[in-house]
Structure 1
Amino acid sequence: MLNSSSAIPVYVDSCDPVGDNREGSLRSVEAGNMAWRGCFLRWTKGDILISTTRGNRSPLGYQQRCGFRKALKKTEAKKEGVEDVGLKQLVKPLVFTVGFTGCSFGTAAIWQYESLKWRVQSYVDETRAEWLGKLHPQTQDDDQKQNEDDTVYWHRWWNRLSDFQKQAIAILFQVNQWWDNLTQGQRTVSGIIAVNALVFCCWRIPSLQRTMIKYFTSDPASKALCFPMILSTFSHYSLLHMGANMYVLWSFSSSIVSLLGPEQFMAVYMSAGVISTLVSYVSKTATGRLGPSLGASGAIMAVLAAVCTKMPEAKLGIIFLPMLTFSAGNALKAIIAMDTAGLVFGWRIFDHAAHLGGALFGVWYIAYGHKLIWKNREPLVKMWHDLRTKGPGGGGAL
């Protein structure tokens, strides 16, 4: 088990005494005293924010939603109402989870419809162009002349570029080749990885620290309860934390997207992140072990559980111990057993409730949820199709 720890820097509002030493007037002395009193009051009200992060990984390399503790003054704890957190405060997150999950799958169904419509339209356009080409075929001389003209044009265009522009185009060409060689699953999760990297960089901006802690960490004792349920899924403070999570997501991306398709995968991933956070909320509130969490492990556990449930005989291994292999089904059982034990015995190493929430949602979705949700999307798609075809520029039926 690998442990890593880091600390968020302490930021204190500067409270320099105000006065003009050169004049030495009584008014400047009084202003300086008022400034020091204001600084002292802000100190006692907990204006200093000290936060520490702890990122840990499970034996298979799946880092949990790392514990993110805030050491606040008792006066601020009472002000925030930390001691009065109860299950009734989870009604709003519960409603948000149901609504967000429904919107995720509804958006995925419409996205799939639009993608299919675009592919069909592209095929029709290509077929029409090919048919017109057969009706009005060009002679071989015309084709050769056209190719020569194109070659001359692009040769002149290339010669007008500077060396820097040529190098930039060469790099873009290599990136395009790399992108074309990726699987559909790897292309799908590339956007998720990019967002996680962007949020990771935002954690390094001192002026954003308070905003990041408020909205990019999930804590049932916080005033912001709903939006952090989504944003914390894309939030990592530790590079090791983010690297481990994104490596696992990249490794299982091809399997999960081949199984569900890119649209359904995104709906499952986003929903799993919110559902795992809700389970974490319930566990923290019930046990009284409050504290912020962040990370994509809840959603990634759903992906892992879905693949292992669908393909239990698949062989998995540990990157640092390639000689050890085990079935996907046994790996899933071991992970669920470990997180269950951690939840029962109150281990603080992982956010075990978030892990269990994500894993159980992934198992449930493959076993029952796919039939209950995705296979019953036809009424919504039909309604969207009617809106598209009757609206301006709607076009014909798919």
Structure 2
Amino acid sequence: MPKLSAGTRALLILNGLFFVVTYWVPNMRNRMVDWFALFFPMNDHFQMWQFISSLFMHGSVTHLFFNMFALFSFGMILEALWGTRKFIAFYFIVGIGAGLIYIGVNYFEFKGVYKELLELGFRPVEIQALLDTGYINPKIGSQIADGKLQEFYSHYNGPVLGASGAIYGILVAFGMMFPNAKLAFLFIPVPVAAKYIIPALLVFDLFSGVTGFSLFGGNIGHFAHIGGAIIGFLLMLYWKPNAKIGSSFISTSE
């Protein structure tokens, strides 16, 4: 097994520590989520630091394992090529960018429903009561689909956890540098080249984000995945705008 590089090791340790404190220290779960998960900007729990801290919060052992396995598998390779400082900068830039894009998409959808409720004659205080309590006033529920109202409530109250946006940025960077590398995923029986499987993952995320259908259940931030991939792609182009995609084009210096 290759020796863990400094940046990847630090990220793995921090993610592990956050998980242990959140789920194993008595009475800390709700506090950790309130402090460090990423909340909707209009929610009272929102803080600017959550764009960073949410990258270290995970919702389950499975969630943590798959993100950290991907970080270990691909992050060490990128860190070896770029150096620790550049790799860490990339990780946080794509992670923060993923959060911003995810919040932006949610805000657009949220404002659309909010405007629709106002146009139907509901007062802001009635709308806020729905957001605060989750109780759907029959007068509101009779005019707007229940699923839309539940999503409206979820956008406002649902915290965002996980490093998946940063991981998708890492996957895109890896795919751009090593497009012909064969990757094996649990749900695909044979290895497939990165240039095929990574775009396929993004298409699936886009489809799931738009339709709400997901093979892996609900509460998945598909637009955070897409956001991390977009920021990762743009950052790779910015770092080496004249490079030919498909070559190892990032400097190895820190």
TM-score of the alignment, normalized to the shorter chain, above 0.5:
yes
Q: 2:104 aligns with which of 262, 276, 282?
A: 282
Counterpart amino acid of residue 36 in structure 2: F
> Displacement of 1:283 after TM fit?
1.3
Please give the alpha-carbon distance, in whole angstroms, between the structure 1 residues aligned to 2:101 and 2:195: 23
SS in 1 for 2:223: helix
2:28 alignment partner in structure 1: 208
Shift of the alpha carbon at 1:320?
7.2
Residues 1:313 and 2:180 aligned together: yes
Larger Rg: 1
- Determine the C-alpha separation between the residues in 1 that align with 2:179 and 2:203: 16
Q: Secondary structure at the match of 1:206?
A: coil
Task: Give, in angstroms, the shift of residue 346 of structure 1.
Answer: 3.3
Distance 1:363 1:192, change over 3 A: same
Q: Are 2:175 and 1:353 aligned?
A: no
Higher relative CO (CA 8 A, sep ≥ 6), structure 1 or 2?
A: 2
Q: Which moved more, 1:309-318 or 1:220-229?
A: 220-229
RMSD of aligned alpha carbons: 2.4
- What does the per-residue CA deviation read over 1:292-341, in whole Å, with 9 as the maximum and x for residues that have no partner? 110010111101110101211111112576x5011101111101111111
240, 250, 268: which one aligns with 2:72? 250
Question: Quick check: 1:303 aligned with 2:195?
Answer: no
Matched residue type, 1:243:
F
Q: Does the 8 Å contact 2:8/2:79 carry over to 1?
A: no
Partner of 1:331: 197
1:116-155 equivalences under 5 Å are none
Q: Extract unaligned runs of 5+ from structure 1.
A: 1-177, 376-398
Q: Does 1:367 align with 2:187?
A: no
Q: In the alignment, residue 325 of structure 1 is paired with which amino acid?
A: P
Per the TM alignment, residue 252 of structure 1 is displaced from its structure 2 partner at its CA by: 0.7
Gaps of 5+ in 2: 111-150, 243-249
Equivalent-residue separation in structure 1 for 2:109 and 2:239 (angstroms) = 29
Aligned to 1:133: none
How far did residue 214 of structure 1 move?
A: 1.4
Could you tell me which of 43, 46, 51 is aligned with 1:222? 43
The one-letter amino acid of 1:298's match is: G
Q: Give the alignment's TM-score, normalised by structure 2.
A: 0.69
Q: Is 1:182 paired with 2:3?
A: yes
Distance, in Å, in 2 between the alignment partners of 1:273 and 1:215 is 18
After TM superposition, the structure 1 stretch with the greater mean CA deviation from structure 2, 287-296 or 268-277, is 287-296
Q: Quote the Cα distance in structure 2 between the aligned partners of 1:222 and 1:203.
A: 21
Residue 195 (structure 1) aligned with residue 14 (structure 2): yes
Report the alpha carbon displacement of residue 183 of structure 1 after superposing the two structures with TM: 5.2
Q: Give 1:188 shift.
A: 2.4
In 1, distance between residues paired with 2:85 and 2:30?
34
Return the TM-score normalized by structure 1: 0.45
- The amino acid that maps onto 1:191 is A
Percent sequence identity over matched residues? Answer: 28
Give, in whole Å, the separation in 2 of the partners of 1:354 and 1:192.
19
Runs of 4+ that moved beyond 6 A: none
Q: CA deviation digits over 1:351-378, x for unaligned, max 9? A: 1110001011111111234459xx9xxx
1:240/1:268 Cα in 2 relative to 1: closer, same or farther (>3 Å)? Answer: same
Q: Does 1:233 align with 2:55?
A: yes
Q: Aligned partners of 2:71, 2:16: CA distance in 1, in Å?
A: 14
**CA distance, structure 2, for counterparts of residue 304 and residue 243 of structure 1:** 16
Q: CA deviation at 1:349?
A: 4.8
Q: In the alignment, is the contact (CA less than 8 A) between 1:305 and 1:362 conserved in 2?
A: yes
Structure 2 CA distance, aligned partners of 1:183 and 1:239? 21
